[in-house]
């Protein structure tokens, strides 16, 4: 993390905290990972400050779209937010690095290790966001992405000729073109119906989300592809954070650090529940396809040129962050 | 705060301010008074958010398609065809009007377009057949409500937007079909009884040769609903794309096949559509501003708890929702009412286990009913302008229709399957 | 005076072109996207929704002034319609003047919003165009609407408006028409 000059005070625990209340906005609904994160965060802060500081978790939608929420945080309308780099990608282009396929490890524990410890992310990328008044205090995963389709995706060739719905961007077009698939833009509200009726052939999301949005009802297969991760950031308004008393800042930092393990377990549990629920839904049978290491290697080979495309062609990308993160990932994967 | 918000809104509305003014002025003033520290940029951003949903693209496109067809001869072709089959039965002209409004409703998303396209030619025919003007107008206003229930429907598009992700416009469209047919049948039955009671003379029965001729002329316009509903149902295209296809079809039909519209007239039809689009979307943008301020102040939770308590039953929620929307739409444009009230009731409806598609049908139905109901339903003023008739003359014969619609409204509340059976 | 009339006419033509072109552009985009996907299995119209979004924003905000000129904004005229001439005249002057002031205030607020968007450097997802390019039409729209409402106020004081209330400069109140002419679809609100 950033500032560590608050340690000298050492008056956390039973120290005096001013009465405050903060709002913590999320991009998800009650019961889903982000909201539960905010609720748990609220409990811990309240406990550590003997109830002096209350945090109010807010569901998605109460205050507008994802873009609105990012602006709300920037303008100080709320103090804290969980946001995904995908939605702030239109301010900080480097946020797109999380959407590269097979750039991060496919092993979830290793992903968690990179997100928690990477300097490229927690210092360099953080500094990029801070230019916009947003401080990401931590990065965590809500689960690896999976593909749902009727085609049963097991190798890059299976993508040939398929239409996939993802959040449209030049990088995503390049990524899926490498497999021979076409990205179709389609509003999220229309996706369930579009999958049901074959308007598009596939979509990507974490397992828990595929289950809660009932996409498995209208798809024959779900491929546990681990091609990238649904990354979320715990963010605060930079000016607000810098203006906090040292003891309060310390409590925030400490809680954010503790939450890393908590949220990793929470998302693992929710994604496992998702898989169980999909398998238990015998009215809508869905084959769960787990990729072998060899199959993943096949995908990685096709995806790698796109990493270079991202590094060299996508505008406003900080190549140093890319290179540094690539090394850090290689270290974790023991290459 | 809520009191300030509502008083500004109501006073300016009743003073005949353009609705966009109170809709944006009230939240801005309330924010300046109660949250002076909040950056106004956040509110302005809502104006963009409000009109950024891609589902909204249906609105200008369906209006454009209807405008092209209204400028052409489509409505007359439909009327001649339907009339040749049922014109001769007891109350035939009235039944034809109801049927034509339903069919035209399947092309157009708005009740007002149906009033203009079907109402004008049909009123002349009904007057000639011996109907009183007030009863012809009352039928036209109320039968045009079907336009909002049968896909495509602008009310449903706005509801899906206000209800948030997870409510599919395609499903709403399909769910509206049975209620729409119910309204048509009820009006048809009433028309037959009325014609018997008033002893309206019968029209001449048309021969099969004539019928065949009118059928051939109406065949292509009749394919319209088949293409739209069929396309959405089979998944060839989404509702937004269906609206694009509707434009393409209307364009090919009127410009190249029937040759009723010269190509160079298309820009001026588009201008008329663009003008309506701007007037409506300014309200949608302002509606988002208004609801955002409500949400920021946590007002929906307060209202919902005050009106519904903490653990309402599904039926109770639907009845309260119906009353709010019915009364709201008697005074204010349905688009505004749906945008502002829907987010207030959605959380309670979800807790009570109400299906959101069912809720959408109830809301759209009440919005249609409210806009045809005196004192201030907007359809009444449209009709007053289109037919150049005084207000009292326009509303004189509406009570029986409103009773029929209220009855159907009750049926829709108690039998969710009427809305849901086609999607399940 | 001649030159002012010419500017006025030119601006109205521009507004008409924008509204008309926006609707035709959206039609092209949405139809093109379906045909590209269903017939050619291609994503060539990937920008369809983004371009349409731009068109909608431009039509919406650039249309405010035009709709004000034509007296076409949706309002609840039940009480107004029953009022006598003098009351209607005073009401219309107040309505247009207050609307004008409020439009200028919104123009100022939304200008600040656009500057905020400009400073974030945010871009759109498909075409990677700066997001502020969309927002910039909000203050422009409010500004032109403010000017239009001011003109709507003024016209009610002129000799031309001696026995007619003007809702907009091109929209005499239909309550004052001796012989109400036939009303066309484009004269009625949705
Ligand atoms: Na399935
Ligand atoms: Na309709």
Between chains, do B275 and C67 touch, taking CB under 8 Å as contact?
Answer: yes
Question: What per-residue confidence (pLDDT) applies to B360?
Answer: 95
Question: What per-residue confidence (pLDDT) applies to B282?
Answer: 92
- Closest Cα in chain A, distance from residue C67 (Å): 28
* Residue B151 pLDDT greater than 70, yes or no: yes
**Residue A82's beta-bridge partner residues?**
A234
Residues with CB under 5 Å of ion ligand 2 are: B 105, 109, 147, 150, 153
The number of the ligand nearest the C-alpha atom of B155 reads 2
Least confident range of A145-159, B99-113, B364-378? B99-113
Interval B303-349: pLDDT, tens:
878 888 778 889 999 999 999 998 888 777 788 889 888 988 888 88
Q: What is the 3-state secondary structure (H, E, C) of chain A?
A: CCCCCCCCCCCCCCCCCCCEEEEEECCCCCCCHHHHHHHHHHHHHHHHCCCCEEEEEECCECCECHHHHHHHHHCCCCCEEEECHHHHCCCCHHHHHHHCCCCCCCCHHHHHHHHHHCHHHHHHHHHHHHCCCEEEEEEEEEEEEEEEECCCCCCHHHHCCCEEECCCCHHHHHHHHHHCCEEECCCHHHHHHHHHCCCCCEEEEEHHHHHHCCHHHHCCEEEECCCCEEEEEEEEEHHHHHCCCHHHHHHHHHHHHHHHHHHHHHHHHHHHHHHHHHHHCCCCCCEEEECCHHHHHHHHHHHHHHHHHHHHHCCCCCHHHHHHHHHHHHHHHCC
Residue B284 tokens, joined:
């949608």
pLDDT, averaged across chain B? 85
* Residue A2 pLDDT greater than 60, yes or no: no
**Residue A233's beta-bridge partner residues?**
A83, A139
The stretch B16-35 carries a mean pLDDT of: 92
Interval A49-100: pLDDT, tens:
999 999 999 887 667 777 788 888 988 889 999 998 876 556 888 999 999 9
Question: What per-residue confidence (pLDDT) applies to A8?
Answer: 41
- Closest Cα in chain C, distance from residue B384 (Å): 10
Distance (Å, whole) CA A230 – CA A85: 9
Determine which helix (DSSP H) or strand (DSSP E) holds C52, and give its type and residue range.
helix C48-69
* Residue B176 pLDDT greater than 70, yes or no: yes
Nearest CA in chain A to B239: A190
Interval B397-406: pLDDT, tens:
889 999 999 9
Residue B274 tokens, joined:
């663009």
Q: How far is C-alpha A238 from the chain's CA centre?
A: 20
Residue A232 tokens, joined:
């979320």
With beta carbons less than 8 A apart as the criterion, state whether A147 and A222 touch: yes
Q: Using CB atoms, which residue from B51, B247, B332 is nearest to C27?
A: B247
Question: What per-residue confidence (pLDDT) applies to B78?
Answer: 82
Q: CB under 8 Å to A85, separation ≥6 — which residues?
A: A92, A95, A96, A97, A98, A231, A233
Secondary structure (DSSP) of B354-374: --HHHHHHHHHHHHHHHHTST
The stretch B82-95 carries a mean pLDDT of: 84
Look-up of token digits 């950031």:
A233
Q: Which chain A residues are closer than 8 Å to B34 by Cβ? A: none
* Alpha helices (H) in C121-136, listed in sequence order: 132-135
With beta carbons less than 8 A apart as the criterion, state whether B139 and B409 touch: no
Between chains, do B55 and A68 touch, taking CB under 8 Å as contact?
Answer: no
Question: What per-residue confidence (pLDDT) applies to A7?
Answer: 41
* Residue C12 pLDDT greater than 70, yes or no: yes
Question: What per-residue confidence (pLDDT) applies to A89?
Answer: 52
| Residues of C contacting chain A (CB within 8 angstroms) | 33, 37, 41-43, 46, 48-50, 116, 120-126, 128, 131
Q: How many CA atoms lie within 13 A of A272 on its CB side?
A: 7
* Residue C180 pLDDT greater than 60, yes or no: no
The SS3 of residue C126 is: coil
ipTM of the complex: 0.82
Candidates B63, B64, B92, B62; CA nearest to B79 is B92
Determine which helix (DSSP H) or strand (DSSP E) holds C136, and give its type and residue range.
none
With beta carbons less than 8 A apart as the criterion, state whether B68 and B269 touch: yes
Residue A285's alpha-carbon distances to A221, A225, A279, B117, in angstroms, are 9, 19, 7, 49
Q: Which of residues 369-388 of B touch C (CB under 8 A)?
A: 375-376, 378, 381-382, 385-386, 388
Q: Is C176 exposed, middle or buried (0-12, 13-18, 19+ CB in 10 A)?
A: middle
How far is the centre of ligand 1, averaged over its atoms, from the C-alpha of A286 (Å)?
A: 4
Candidates B258, B219, B193; CA nearest to B78 is B219
* Residue C27 pLDDT greater than 50, yes or no: yes
* Alpha helices (H) in B152-207, listed in sequence order: 154-163, 169-175, 177-198
Question: What per-residue confidence (pLDDT) applies to B384?
Answer: 75
How far is the centre of ligand 2, averaged over its atoms, from the C-alpha of A268 (Å)?
A: 46
**Residue C32's beta-bridge partner residues?**
none
How far is the centre of ligand 2, averaged over its atoms, from the C-alpha of B243 (Å)?
A: 11
Residue C125's alpha-carbon distances to A155, C25, C51, in angstroms, are 28, 20, 11
Least confident range of A107-121, B221-235, B263-277, B356-370? B221-235
Between chains, do C126 and A182 touch, taking CB under 8 Å as contact?
Answer: no
Residue A43's alpha-carbon distances to A25, A26, A36, A56, A240, in angstroms, are 15, 16, 11, 10, 21
For residue C122, give the DSSP letter: -
Candidates C81, C99, C108, C77; CA nearest to C152 is C99
* Alpha helices (H) in C121-160, listed in sequence order: 132-135, 137-155
Question: What per-residue confidence (pLDDT) applies to B226?
Answer: 82
Q: What is the 3-state secondary structure (H, E, C) of C60-118?
A: HHHHHHHHHHCCCCCECCHHHHHCCHHHHHHHHHHHHHHHHHHHHHHHHHHHHHHHHHH
Q: Using CB atoms, which residue from A63, A65, A189 is nearest to B296?
A: A63
Residue C92's alpha-carbon distances to A13, A282, B5, C10, C73, in angstroms, are 65, 66, 23, 26, 13
* Residue A279 pLDDT greater than 80, yes or no: yes
Question: What per-residue confidence (pLDDT) applies to C190?
Answer: 39
Distance (Å, whole) CA B270 – CA B282: 18
Compute the residue count for chain B: 424
Confidence tier at A4 by pLDDT (50, 70, 90): very low
Contact partners for chain A, using 3 or more CB pairs closer than 8 A, are B, C
Q: CB under 8 Å to A151, separation ≥6 — which residues?
A: A158, A162, A201, A202, A221
How far is the centre of ligand 1, averaged over its atoms, from the C-alpha of A222 (Å)?
A: 8
Question: What per-residue confidence (pLDDT) applies to C178?
Answer: 54
The stretch A169-187 carries a mean pLDDT of: 90
Interval B44-61: pLDDT, tens:
989 998 898 888 898 899
The stretch B61-65 carries a mean pLDDT of: 88
Distance (Å, whole) CA B158 – CA B334: 9
Q: What angle do CA B197, B202, B207 make, to 5 degrees?
A: 150
Q: Using CB atoms, which residue from B44, B244, B376 is nearest to C76?
A: B376
Q: Name the more confident of B127 and B255.
A: B255
Question: What per-residue confidence (pLDDT) applies to A55?
Answer: 95
The stretch C123-148 carries a mean pLDDT of: 92
**Residue A55's beta-bridge partner residues?**
A22
Question: Is any Cβ of chain A less than 8 angstroms from the Cβ of B55?
Answer: yes
How far is the centre of ligand 2, averaged over its atoms, from the C-alpha of B151 (Å)?
A: 4
How far is the centre of ligand 1, averaged over its atoms, from the C-alpha of A281 (Å)?
A: 8
Instruction: Report the 10 Å Cβ neighbour count for A220.
Output: 14
Determine which helix (DSSP H) or strand (DSSP E) holds B69, and give its type and residue range.
helix B58-71
Interval A122-135: pLDDT, tens:
999 999 999 999 99
Between chains, do C49 and A187 touch, taking CB under 8 Å as contact?
Answer: yes
* Residue B424 pLDDT greater than 90, yes or no: no
Candidates B110, B161, B181; CA nearest to B360 is B161
Confidence tier at C189 by pLDDT (50, 70, 90): very low
* Residue C152 pLDDT greater than 90, yes or no: yes
The SS3 of residue C36 is: helix
Between chains, do B55 and A62 touch, taking CB under 8 Å as contact?
Answer: no
Between chains, do A189 and B38 touch, taking CB under 8 Å as contact?
Answer: no
Q: CB under 8 Å to B94, separation ≥6 — which residues?
A: B126, B131, B136, B139, B187, B188, B191, B192, B194, B195
Distance (Å, whole) CA A17 – CA C80: 58
Q: Which chain A residues are closer than 8 Å to B38 by Cβ? A: 77
* Residue A335 pLDDT greater than 80, yes or no: no
Torsion of CA A217, A219, A224, A229, to 10 degrees: -80
* Residue B81 pLDDT greater than 90, yes or no: no
Nearest CA in chain C to A92: C122
Q: Which of B39, B293, B344 to mutate to test the interface with A (most CBs of A within 10 A)?
A: B39
Distance (Å, whole) CA A56 – CA A242: 20
Between chains, do C187 and B245 touch, taking CB under 8 Å as contact?
Answer: no
What pTM was estimated for this model as a whole? 0.84
Between chains, do A167 and C125 touch, taking CB under 8 Å as contact?
Answer: yes
Distance (Å, whole) CA A48 – CA A82: 21
Question: What per-residue confidence (pLDDT) applies to B49?
Answer: 86
Residue B366's alpha-carbon distances to A172, A316, B328, C112, in angstroms, are 43, 51, 9, 40
């Amino acid at each position: 993390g950033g500032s560590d000059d608050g340690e000298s005070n050492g008056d956390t625990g039973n120290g005096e905290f001013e009465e405050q209340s903060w709002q913590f906005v999320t991009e998800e609904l009650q019961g889903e990972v982000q909201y539960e994160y905010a609720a748990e965060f609220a409990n811990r802060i309240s406990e550590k400050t003997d109830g002096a500081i209350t945090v109010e978790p807010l569901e998605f939608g109460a205050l507008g779209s994802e873009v609105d929420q990012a602006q709300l945080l920037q303008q100080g309308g709320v103090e804290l937010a969980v946001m995904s780099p995908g939605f702030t990608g239109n301010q900080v282009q480097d946020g797109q690095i999380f959407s590269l396929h097979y750039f991060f490890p496919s092993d979830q524990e290793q992903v968690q290790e990179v997100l928690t410890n990477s300097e490229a992310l927690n210092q360099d990328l953080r500094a990029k966001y801070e230019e916009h008044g947003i401080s990401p205090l931590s990065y965590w995963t809500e689960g690896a992405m999976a593909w749902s389709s009727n085609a049963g995706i097991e190798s890059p060739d299976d993508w040939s000729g398929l239409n996939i719905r993802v959040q449209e961007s030049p990088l995503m077009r390049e990524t899926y073109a490498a497999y021979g698939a076409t990205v179709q833009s389609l509003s999220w509200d229309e996706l369930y119906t579009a999958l049901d009726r074959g308007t598009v052939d596939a979509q990507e999301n974490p397992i828990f989300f595929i289950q809660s949005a009932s996409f498995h009802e209208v798809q024959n297969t779900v491929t546990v592809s681990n091609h990238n991760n649904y990354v979320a950031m715990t963010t605060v308004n930079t000016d607000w954070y810098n203006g906090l008393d040292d003891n309060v800042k310390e409590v925030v930092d400490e809680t954010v650090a503790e939450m890393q393990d908590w949220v990793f377990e929470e998302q693992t549990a929710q994604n496992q529940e998702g898989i169980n629920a999909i398998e238990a839904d015998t009215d809508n049978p869905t084959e769960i396809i787990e990729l072998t290491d060899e199959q993943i290697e096949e995908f990685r080979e096709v995806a790698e040129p796109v990493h270079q495309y991202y590094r060299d062609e996508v505008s406003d990308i900080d190549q140093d962050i890319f290179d540094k993160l690539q090394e850090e990932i290689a270290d974790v994967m023991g290459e | 705060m809520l009191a300030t918000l509502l008083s500004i809104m109501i006073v300016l509305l009743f003073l005949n301010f353009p609705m966009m003014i109170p809709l944006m002025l009230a939240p801005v003033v309330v924010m300046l008074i109660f949250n002076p520290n909040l950056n106004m940029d956040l509110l302005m951003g809502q104006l963009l958010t409000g009109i950024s949903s891609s589902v909204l693209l249906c609105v200008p496109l369906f209006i454009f398609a209807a405008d092209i067809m209204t400028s052409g001869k489509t409505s007359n072709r439909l009327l001649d065809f339907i009339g040749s089959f049922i014109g001769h039965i007891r109350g035939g002209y009235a039944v034809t009007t109801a049927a034509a409004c339903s069919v035209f409703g399947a092309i157009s998303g708005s009740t007002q377009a149906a009033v203009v396209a079907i109402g004008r030619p049909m009123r002349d025919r009904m007057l000639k057949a011996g109907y009183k003007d007030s009863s012809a107008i009352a039928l036209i206003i109320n039968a045009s409500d079907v336009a909002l229930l049968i896909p495509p429907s602008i009310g449903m598009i706005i509801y899906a937007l206000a209800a948030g992700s997870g409510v599919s416009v395609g499903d709403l469209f399909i769910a509206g079909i049975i209620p729409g047919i119910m309204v048509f049948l009820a009006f048809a039955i009433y028309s037959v009884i009325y014609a018997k009671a008033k002893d309206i003379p019968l029209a001449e029965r048309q021969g099969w040769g004539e019928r065949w001729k009118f059928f051939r002329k109406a065949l292509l316009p009749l394919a319209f609903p088949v293409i739209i509903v069929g396309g959405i149902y089979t998944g060839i295209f989404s509702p937004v794309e269906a609206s694009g296809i509707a434009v393409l079809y209307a364009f090919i039909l009127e410009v190249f096949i029937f040759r009723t519209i010269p190509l160079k007239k298309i820009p001026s039809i588009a201008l008329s559509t663009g003008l309506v689009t701007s007037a409506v979307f300014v309200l949608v943008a302002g509606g988002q501003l208004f609801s955002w301020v409500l949400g920021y102040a946590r007002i929906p939770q307060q209202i919902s708890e005050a009106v519904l308590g903490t653990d309402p039953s599904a039926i109770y929620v639907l009845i309260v929702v119906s009353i709010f929307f019915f009364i709201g739409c008697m005074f204010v444009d349905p688009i505004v009412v749906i945008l502002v009230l829907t987010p207030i009731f959605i959380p309670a409806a979800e807790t009570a286990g109400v299906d959101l598609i069912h809720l959408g049908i109830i809301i759209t139905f009440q919005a249609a009913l409210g806009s045809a109901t005196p004192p201030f339903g907007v359809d009444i003023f449209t009709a007053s302008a289109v037919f150049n008739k005084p207000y009292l003359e326009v509303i004189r014969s509406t009570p029986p229709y409103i009773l029929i619609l209220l009855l159907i409204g009750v049926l829709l509340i108690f039998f969710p399957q009427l809305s849901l059976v086609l999607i399940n | 005076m001649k030159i002012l009339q010419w500017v006025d006419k030119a601006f109205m033509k521009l507004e008409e072109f924008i509204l008309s072109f926006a609707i035709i552009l959206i039609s092209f985009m949405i139809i093109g996207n379906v045909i590209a996907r269903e017939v050619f299995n291609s994503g060539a119209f990937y920008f369809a929704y983004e371009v349409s979004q731009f068109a909608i924003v431009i039509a919406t905000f650039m249309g405010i002034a035009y709709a004000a000129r034509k007296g076409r904004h949706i309002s609840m005229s039940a009480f107004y319609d029953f009022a006598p001439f003098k009351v209607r005249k005073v009401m219309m002057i107040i309505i247009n003047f207050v609307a004008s002031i409020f439009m200028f205030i919104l123009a100022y607020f939304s200008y600040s919003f656009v500057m905020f968007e400009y400073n974030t450097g945010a871009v759109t997802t498909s075409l990677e165009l700066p997001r502020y390019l969309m927002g910039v039409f909000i203050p422009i729209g409010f500004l032109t609407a403010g000017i239009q409402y001011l003109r709507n106020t003024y016209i009610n004081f002129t000799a031309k408006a001696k026995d007619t209330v003007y809702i907009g400069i091109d929209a005499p109140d239909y309550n004052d028409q001796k012989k109400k002419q036939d009303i066309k679809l484009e004269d009625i609100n949705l």
